[in-house]
């Protein structure tokens, strides 16, 4: 016998969907390719490629396949970052989902400090993922500017041990999280990425 879903549960699910959609739409960008001013990237205020590769190996391990190629591609697109975040996150989705993470922000000038992030995702996601995350950060001349919401548009498929990267931008600040995932997640999702000083369960 087929059981019907209670009306209250249906409306609660629909309400959550549109609340997440509203949060995503209010911070969406125009999809333009991120840009950086490489003339402002100096030895004093940014990290070179070797330093970033070594730091990312501390997160993913020496044997992470494709890591060097992804770092090289990001440097080709954006140049030298002036900060990076080493951390981990967990999340999952079946149409509507959430992700939570924490790590350490390493800024070239201001040093190291803890950060946390949350974000809703909406789309055709299947399964869940738990991931080590290494994020390159650009145009962050004041670390206070990292504590905001960054729009994201992702289409990703995680194999076991798969590696993926995407770009997110809010104002001039650009973040490029690289994930080494465990589990399976496929499809395209639209969400937002809120970085905070303190841990929170509120994705908005």
- Residue-wise pLDDT for 70-117, tens only, equals 899 899 989 999 999 999 988 766 556 778 899 999 999 999 999 999
Indicate if the pLDDT at residue 31 is higher than 60.
Answer: no
Could you give phi then psi for residue 21, rounded to 5 degrees? Answer: -60, -40
191 Ramachandran zone, left/alpha/beta (phi>0; psi -120 to 50):
beta
Which pLDDT score is estimated for 113?
97
3-state secondary structure of 139: coil
Which pLDDT score is estimated for 37?
82
């Amino acid at each position: 016998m087929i059981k019907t879903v209670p009306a209250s549960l249906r409306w609660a699910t629909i309400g959550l969907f549109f609340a997440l959609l509203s949060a995503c739409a209010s911070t969406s960008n125009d999809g333009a390719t991120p840009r950086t001013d490489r003339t402002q990237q100096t030895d004093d205020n940014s990290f070179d490629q070797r330093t970033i590769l070594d730091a990312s190996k501390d997160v993913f391990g020496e044997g992470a396949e494709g890591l060097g190629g992804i770092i090289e591609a990001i440097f080709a697109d954006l140049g030298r970052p002036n900060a990076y975040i080493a951390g981990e996150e967990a999340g999952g989705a079946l149409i509507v989902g959430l992700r939570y993470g924490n790590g350490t922000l390493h800024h070239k000038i201001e040093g190291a400090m803890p950060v946390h992030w949350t974000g809703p995702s909406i789309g055709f996601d299947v399964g869940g993922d738990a991931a080590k995350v290494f994020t390159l950060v650009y145009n962050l001349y004041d670390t206070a500017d990292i504590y905001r919401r960054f729009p994201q548009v992702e289409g990703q498929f995680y194999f076991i041990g798969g590696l993926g990267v995407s770009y997110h931008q809010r104002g001039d600040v650009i973040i490029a999280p690289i994930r080494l995932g465990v589990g399976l997640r496929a499809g395209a999702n639209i969400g937002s990425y809120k970085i905070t000083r303190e841990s929170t369960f509120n994705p908005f």
